[in-house]
Amino acid sequence: MLQILPKNSKVLSYFLLSFLLFLDSTNHSALELRSIANTATSYYTAGVVEFRPATNVSNLLEENLAAYLDIIASVEAANTDIIVFPESTLNSKPTSTFVPNPSTSDSDPELVPCLLGNTSIYAEFLVQISCSARQSRKYLVINLTEREHCTETSEDPRPCASDGLNIYNTNVVFDREGRVISRYRKWNLFSEPKNTTNSVELAFFDTDFGVRFGHFICFDILFYEPGQLLVNLGITDFVFPTMWFSQLPFLTSVQFQQSWSYANDVNFLAAGASQPAVGSTGTAIFAGRKGALISVMNKGEGERRLYVAKVLKKKQRQQSVQALQLQRSSFAATSRQSRISEEDIRLKRDYLELYESEVLDLSNAPVPLKRDLCYKTFCCHFELQWHPLFNSSTMSDYYAYRLGAYEGIRKEEGADGTNALRNCAVFACVGADIADCGKTLPAVIVQQQYAFDRIMIEADFEMNSPALVMPNSLRDDLLPLNVNEFVWEESKSAEYCNAEPLDFRYLW
């Protein structure tokens, strides 16, 4: 059996019921987004920025800062209450800055860099962003490279660097006065030559529109700390700066953002760095189990763009009031995009050779197909129905499919931590070998040989340890299925009386 480490570890078990279906995305019905009546207390207006960082090494910070300030002052941003910028798209170690400690008194003038000007220890760009928050009257969340004087203490005896500085990957939150009200230093690093704090920080902040936000950064989402600890505190809204490197078939950026938001039923504001050539893109706003309000995966050179949506406050969702169509900005992303392949965005590949898997012979298998597949003692139950679209003998480029099951410890190359994982999956392949899975065909030549009418995945998961069970899906445009396109069921299993497993059913 899989050993799951206790809550004070840096591991969270992720239980996934997954499918990667490279189907024609235009064949699905559009997601209908609905919200309650538009009143001052029912929603807030959020903006998330997909941002392409500068490439001219001579003025990286200057160009990035100018673009940040333009976005904050733009017409599109006028009605936003909060704007979130992505990870690692502002400055770097040579231009790192000290950041005020928001745990000091609210009246401490050090918390408002704008009022200190160039008389402070804070970098000029931090001062300008503080002033921009103050002038625009918005909450701003930025991610930057922070510096801090290092001191060895009995609580943290780790040796200091030769320059006497700690360097952090840090979120900084400004309120409408330009005051630093929250700071979070990334706990789970991914191939980053930076420091971590001695213990994980649980960062959250309150707003004048009645919402408390938790926040963490990119790779943190794969771990119990800090994200799930914040959920356990009852926080229902999150901001998430990220520079994600998408990985097929289970870990592309928007796909996993929706899985986490849906499983925890939280509002989730994700701002992504936009460099598709290296694999980074993915910006979205999710309303928990209500689904995506905004979701976008870019290709080509990426973009610098603000996406805006009205987000229904979680405490309002159970009220019996008239539902109205959600008002979205005119430039918001549509819920359907064109196909995206590895020609459009660099995509990493998951460790599918570790899975117990078998090819789906859709041309000869009985319809409907019922199949159990086990990885050692962990078993998955599949039920599938499909119909042919074309005669396979006349086609040269089409996707094959496999069933997969896995239970074990997952270690990402370049990462400090590990994940305990159980996964039941149906995934697409470009050929019959397992090495052909987790890849895409060029979008211009791919044809669909079969159409799935129904996919049901069912499994039992023991829930007596820290775990998050998530539905996980991906279409050929690298966006997940809309929440009205699948059914997710959870029930206690009568088969086990002591371990308290839950039976999860995922139906498409």
Domains in the chain, start-ordered, CATH in brackets?
13-25+344-507 (no CATH), 40-325 (3.60.110.10)
Look at the chain and count its residues.
508
* φ/ψ of residue 147, rounded to 5: -115, 150
Check residue 1 and give its pLDDT.
22
Predicted local confidence at residue 298, as pLDDT: 94
- Select from 446, 226, 206, 214 the least CA-distant residue to 342: 446
Residue listed under structure tokens 């299993």: 493
* Active site members: 87, 186, 218
The 3-state DSSP composition of the chain as helix, strand, coil percent (nearest 5) reads: 20, 35, 45
- Of 19-23, 118-122, 331-335, give the lowest mean pLDDT range: 331-335
Average pLDDT (157-163) is: 94
* Nearest by Cα to 22 from 477, 463, 375: 477
Contacts of residue 463, defined as CB under 8 A and 6 or more positions apart, other chains included, come to 469, 500, 501, 502
Q: Which is higher by pLDDT, 81 or 103?
A: 81
The encoded tokens of residue 459 equal 């499994």
Per-residue confidence (pLDDT) for residue 229, from 0 to 100: 95
Report the candidate in 280, 345, 279, 273 with the shortest Cα–Cα distance to residue 89: 273
- Confidence check: pLDDT of 331 > 60: no
Q: Is the pLDDT of residue 493 over 90?
A: no
Sequence-distant (6+) residues with CB within 8 A of 40 are none
Q: pTM here?
A: 0.87
